[in-house]
Amino acid sequence: MTDIDLKKRKLKMKLYINLACDILDIPTPYIHYHIPKDEPNNLGVTYKKRGYYHIYLNAEYPVEAILYNACLHECRHVYQSMVCERKDAYLIEPKEVIDSWVENFMTYKDVFNKNYELQPVELDAYAFGDYVFNTMYNQEVIPRKEPLRTPLIKKMKELEMDYPKDLVIDIAKDYFKMDV
């Protein structure tokens, strides 16, 4: 990948992150375009350091659609963490959702575990990324297989209640040239 191509890709990644943060109504985290040395098998990872959120993404990942979806996915993790830290969390998300996220963060399984994608925080983040991406492009951009597909579709329908498609499209138009 040339330096110019990488620079364009990083700019586009930033647009997807800003889009997600606008939809979620959260501040933009620090963005890093490489994966930390201790996380070599990840496409993206989110950390909180000294009170600030940092998203690390592998900018050289070969499949752009999956990389951009990961930008949305990681922003959802920032949202989940921010909501769980709030005293009024139950006013933002249902109690059972908050409780499952808090429990999941305390017992988090990494990518090497069998049902990694079905953990509450991961399923929610996958659903958010897929919902926004699919809404923007009016198609299923990244096909998913079972056992993830059915719960993912269910969660995406729930997300549509909080983030209607017209809202997603209106915000996306601010960042991307879209045929709507």
Residue with tokens 């709030």: 86
Q: 0.85 cut: is pTM over it?
A: yes
- State residue 88's pLDDT score: 97
45-92, pLDDT tens digit by residue?
999 999 999 999 999 999 999 999 999 999 999 999 999 999 999 999
Q: State pLDDT tens for residues 13-52.
A: 999 999 999 999 999 999 999 999 887 778 999 999 999 9
Q: Are strands 44-49 and 52-57 parallel, antiparallel or unpaired?
A: antiparallel
pLDDT for the residue 40: 72
Q: What is the CA radius of gyration of the chain?
A: 16
- The span from the CA of 17 to the CA of 4, in Å, is 20
Quote the CA–CA distance of 24 and 29 in Å, as a whole number.
12
In sequence order, the β-bridge partners of residue 45 are 56
Amino acid identity, position 7: K
